[in-house]
A and B are shown apart, each in its own frame.
Chain A
Amino acid sequence: MTVARFWRKIPHRYNLIGTRCTTCGEHYFPPRQMCPTCRREGKIEDHKFRGNGEVVTYTVIHTAAKGYEMQAPYNLAIIKLDEGPSLTGQVICRQDEMEIGMRVRSVFRKLGEESNKGMIYYGTKFIPE
């Protein structure tokens, strides 16, 4: 990912800023600029999420994604935030602590890196609440 491509999403990645449609009240993370319910009737504004939620489902990844080899095995989960939307993120805890329904909260962490000399990605991960 180029520097600009990562940089323009930094507020969203670092601070869990998504969006909210003020017409229907629905929250979106990852951020959307078009509300699927209200479409052109919708009015979208930024919304900072509290970062608390629960694990909907999870896996322990053994064969890592490119740039994430150093972290394997790592826990990946779909987390439903208390405000409504779900996102994909890593959960930092022992493998045997992972369970569906567990409460988690967001933390700022290193996500991955492109190579020894490449860009380092920072962003949001989760830990048990």
Chain B
Amino acid sequence: MRDVAIIGIGCTNFGELWDRSFRDLFVEAGLSAIEDSGIQGEEIDSMYVGNMSGGRFVEQEHIGSLIVDYAGLASNLHIPATRVEAACASGGLALRQAILSVASGYDNVVVAAGAEKMTDVGMDTATDALAAAADREWEGIMGATFPGLYAMIARLHMHTYGTTSEQLAAASVKNHHNGTMNPIAQFKNEISIDMVLNSNMVANPLHMFDCSPISDGASAVVVVAADIARKYTDIPVYVKASAQASGSISLHDRADITTLDASVVAGQRAYKMAGMTPDDIDMVEVHDCFTIAEICAIEDLGFFRKGDGGRATEAGETAIGGRIPVNTSGGLKACGHPVGATGIKQAVEITQQLRGTAGKRQVDGAEVGMTHNVGGSGGTAVVHIFSRNR
């Protein structure tokens, strides 16, 4: 297998972008990644795009064709484009497919993109489309919502480990603070613990401000064989590990409801592939679709002992400047969560951190970063490790 590097990144603003269409978004993200990389369109061997539910959100399937066409790469160059879907992990999985195609030697230059346009439908349709990431026949039909499933994880985590609503809220407050420093973030406002606790109850014990928002956005990265990376950039970001693991699609089938075992296994595979341990990671972008998801992620990935995630978050150990900065981008909560784009945006953030271009949210001495992208309540987990050093 060949080494792979990221040489270009691009991202739209995330938010409720009423004046932008689905295709406007991915064209902007794709073009800025290609410009950032310095490649020419003719050099692209293939494209992978993560998109969860174009069919439900914009009544559009055949997303690969649409994207490559409107990126101006279909009619003349006929570049192959493949849509990848794993619910909210679609972006991370598209990146993994791009990495695999370069690592295998089949392609040299590949674009991995992610895009979702969620605000062209009403809230009830959007919520129902997201619920399709769970088991429709045995969870959805019982009245389960996505916040409801994560609320059941939170309830048991509180019961078993003494985690509190305040500790959950601390993750949201920290991510909003990081979002104030990220130009693309959907929410750039500080919030307080009280604001989280006083926001509407969505599914007990999760409040509105424990939940990531409905968002529009797109992001893209260009990956190439590491041997040619320095032809394009002085600071390639090397892929040290690309790992994926599956778990049961239904929450009720997990051995332990408070552990996303797909995250645990994907993390272990990634550490093994990179020859690293959690101590080697300087910052991590985790899948905080809900505050409890961030708490579980930092435990499942080995940064904290099971049950300690809430206390560590409340103590500031996951803030920028803390022991392990988590979600410097603002995470899904504050940066926004256009589902297909999220996994790619995480890689964009880590690339900025490793290049030293993350502005006010820059982590000092950032050498190694991790991304963690989850589909559904844990049916799919994708973990990547990136480094400044090959």
**A interface with B by C-beta (< 8 Å):** 1, 9, 30, 56-66, 68, 71, 74, 76-78, 85-90, 95, 100, 111-112, 121, 123
Contact = CB atoms under 8 A, between A and B. Distances in A.
Nearest to B147: A63
B202 interface: yes
Contacts, number: 103
B201 A62 contact: yes
B142 interface: yes
A108 to B, nearest CB: 14
B141 A77 contact: no
B73 interface: no
B363 interface: no
Interface residues of B, number: 36
Contact of B137 (A30, A58, A62, A63): A30
A85 B253 CA distance: 8
B168 interface: no
A30 B249 CA distance: 12
25 contacts: A1-B136, A9-B137, A30-B135, A56-B156, A56-B252, A56-B257, A57-B152, A57-B159, A57-B257, A58-B152, A59-B155, A60-B203, A61-B147, A61-B204, A63-B147, A64-B143, A65-B140, A66-B125, A76-B203, A88-B138, A89-B142, A90-B143, A95-B204, A111-B143, A121-B141
A112 B143 contact: yes
Given A58-B155, A65-B128, A85-B253, 8 more contacts: A59-B203, A61-B147, A63-B200, A63-B203, A64-B143, A86-B253, A88-B250, A123-B142
Given A111-B142, A112-B141, A78 B203 contact: no
Given A60-B203, A86-B253, A100-B159, A30 B138 contact: yes
Nearest to A79: B252
Contact of B142 (A1, A56, A58, A88): A88
A57 B156 contact: yes
Nearest to A1: B141
Interface string B150-185: 011101100100000000000000000000000000
